[in-house]
Chains A and B, each alone.
Chain A
Amino acid sequence: NAGVTQTPKFRVLKTGQSMTLLCAQDMNHEYMYWYRQDPGMGLRLIHYSVGEGTTAKGEVPDGYNVSRLKKQNFLLGLESAAPSQTSVYFCASSYSMGGYMNTEAFFGQGTRLTVV
């Protein structure tokens, strides 16, 4: 059981280049999230999805796009990378379809992105 897998783990981009970060989960979770974390800071929510085919904006969505075409995958796209997008990106998934208790989120190991 792999849990949440992020691809790639490291990437260096030049300003203006585009790229897609892939998040895959094998736990049949409904909810998926993309966060960024800057040095010494907490995690900030970029976009999230409450189910296949749905996406919604988080706290810092500008400059990013997402897609959830398949339940197990959540893609984060940077159309024109900027140095301000240098950060560590974390993907997470969770399951919440009724039940008494809220449920925990499972995180990937992160993608370290540098934009030069």
Chain B
Amino acid sequence: LAKTTQPISMDSYEGQEVNITCSHNNIATNDYITWYQQFPSQGPRFIIQGYKTKVTNEVASLFIPADRKSSTLSLPRVSLSDTAVYYCLVGDMRADDKIIFGKGTRLHILP
């Protein structure tokens, strides 16, 4: 399992785009990159997953450079309700990898 490094916390304002970068220097060839969101008193919720280049869904975009040693979660035009902890995970579930969470990034959106 590749170890991940994220900023401990970030602040931003409503309406801005927020980018959270995750470092995973030891990512393996078959590993996928997955991001989860957790609100207080709730279980984490899947946001987005990717292997390379760019992935976009209705919630976020995920940018992965060619070397895959990092990834960036992009949240467009955030609102107060985006205040949460965001976790970056790396692994290959087809290889029975355990889903291991780090401490995540605590994102605080200000009005």
A interface residues with partner B (beta carbon < 8 Å): 4, 31, 33, 35, 41-45, 48, 50, 56, 58-59, 90, 92, 94, 96, 98-99, 101-110
Contacts and interface: CB of A to CB of B under 8 A. Distances in A.
B103 A33 contact: no
Interface stretch (B16-24, B37-45, B58-66, B76-84): B37-45
Contact of B41 (A31, A94, A106, A110): A110
A103 B96 CA distance: 12
Given A42-B103, A92-B99, A105-B46, 16 more contacts: A31-B93, A33-B98, A41-B103, A42-B87, A42-B101, A44-B101, A48-B98, A56-B98, A92-B44, A94-B99, A96-B94, A101-B32, A101-B49, A102-B49, A104-B49, A105-B36
Contacts of B34: 102, 104
Contact of B94 (A4, A35, A98): A98
Contact of A102 (B42, B87, B94): B94
Closest 8 CB pairs of A and B: A107-B43, A104-B46, A96-B93, A43-B101, A102-B32, A42-B103, A102-B93, A42-B101
Q: How large is the interface on B (under 10, 10 to 19, 20 to 34, 35 or more residues)?
A: 20 to 34
Contacts, number: 66
Contacts of A103: 93
A44 B100 CA distance: 7
Contacts of A35: 101
A43 to B, nearest CB: 4
B15 interface: no
A45 B45 CA distance: 16
